[in-house]
Chain A
């Protein structure tokens, strides 16, 4: 059985700005040499739909690979490294299930639907504030939306968002494996940790309890001995980070895509069910997450031996554009009929906790934005984020008319 370390695999230049702008020419060429596996500078990248789907279920062999990220920067022993190695995603099996159970009830489809009115309130408020301008950077606008919704779910004030926004961006940049972000992300983490610690202390001191506030449920779980004090804070931070950087990128990419499809804009304004179709196809066409796993035990898959210690990235954006799974993958078609579901939220034990909340807020956001602004056009140069971690647009300048 050939070892992947000894195979002559194609290389994907994920750090190249051209790749970040449009990875597909590189991936199409790589696919000619191997249908689903390639190398990148730090490890291996799985880009075939079926392979990502199969391997994502092998949670016992492929654990979350944040240890590779920590070692890339050689910062073991720092508070940031402790967080990376101990947070929810770094656990597996019963420990993972225990920690995840402490928040799972707040993320069911039922709860996501209950949060919809609050989502509408947040986006309406933001549009009141921003739509008076002739135009704005949509990426910046979108960055205030999902995190405000998440603060609502936690039951904490949104006034802290400006304080933590940049720090979350900097923390997330660490996932792109680029030394230029060191040591910035360590400092950003200290700021985030102080913020979360303050949130928890303030809530404890206030004595207030709200049965819908997730922070209160987490404090109660800690008091009942189901979570440690550290796990409570790790979880709040995980949620703030996850809630910030994913939906905002998806919403920005959705706006970008719809600039090319004005025929869908009016329809989104009229019909929220159509928004759901647009969002689902966006999650397929332009998903954002490339996540790291680490092989903890040798295993064989499709005639390949994966050795212990290898770093393997699952690339959802590339897997969702695999022509073997989705015919004509680069065509954006909200009416695509298929039982083959995209991998945007992953599979297996680490499947996205917030997938129903994310879908609901993307649908509600898109619906209200299309109702309140019209004729959006690109008003300047766009810029792409690094590919690894959470891909997307860092800048999307638009101009528009305010709908009557």
Chain B
């Protein structure tokens, strides 16, 4: 199992164990983590699974690919660093302990 820690802006943590290969978005939905909506079910069509990857983990999660980047433009006015769509981050041994911060709103 891969531990993913979802953090709300008020500091509340949601440590969650995911099977390798499960997306960080799906993991949130399956475990009742708030803030992540995933309206399209994970096909890069809605932009409602935004997270901010903790600075310590950005090297490991990598950069968004072109389609993700084009979808993230929805959140262009959002000044946070480390913006990613969590449907595109899959749990893996390398990401064991990953910390992602949850936005207050997906819209």
Which chain A residues have a beta carbon within 8 Å of chain B's beta carbons? 57, 59, 97, 100, 104-105, 108-111, 113, 339, 341, 347-349, 351, 353, 355-356
Contact = CB atoms under 8 A, between A and B. Distances in A.
Contacts of B66: 105
Nearest to B107: A341
Contacts of A104: 43-45, 67
Given A105-B67, A113-B73, A347-B39, A353 B45 contact: yes
Contacts of B39: 341, 347-348, 351
Contact of B107 (A110, A339, A347): A339
A105 to B, nearest CB: 6
A400 B74 CA distance: 35
Contacts of B41: 57, 59, 347-349, 351
B73 A109 contact: yes
Interface in B1-52: 37, 39-41, 43-48
Nearest to A338: B107
A349 B107 CA distance: 20
Given A59-B41, A351-B40, A109 B71 contact: yes
B78 interface: no
A113 B46 CA distance: 15
Interface in B53-77: 66-67, 69-71, 73-74
A196 to B, nearest CB: 24
A271 B47 CA distance: 25
B27 to A, nearest CB: 16
Interface of B: 37, 39-41, 43-48, 66-67, 69-71, 73-74, 105-107
Contacts of B40: 347-349, 351
A145 to B, nearest CB: 23
A109 B45 contact: no
A351 B46 contact: yes
A347 B69 CA distance: 21
Contacts of A356: 74
Contacts of A348: 39-41
Nearest to B104: A339
7 contacts: A104-B45, A108-B70, A111-B70, A339-B107, A349-B41, A351-B46, A353-B45
A298 to B, nearest CB: 22
Contact of B45 (A59, A110, A351): A351
A351 B48 CA distance: 12
A108 B37 CA distance: 18
B74 A109 contact: yes
B65 to A, nearest CB: 11
B107 A109 contact: no
B73 A108 contact: yes
A404 B40 CA distance: 44
Nearest to B72: A109
A86 B45 CA distance: 21
Nearest to B48: A341
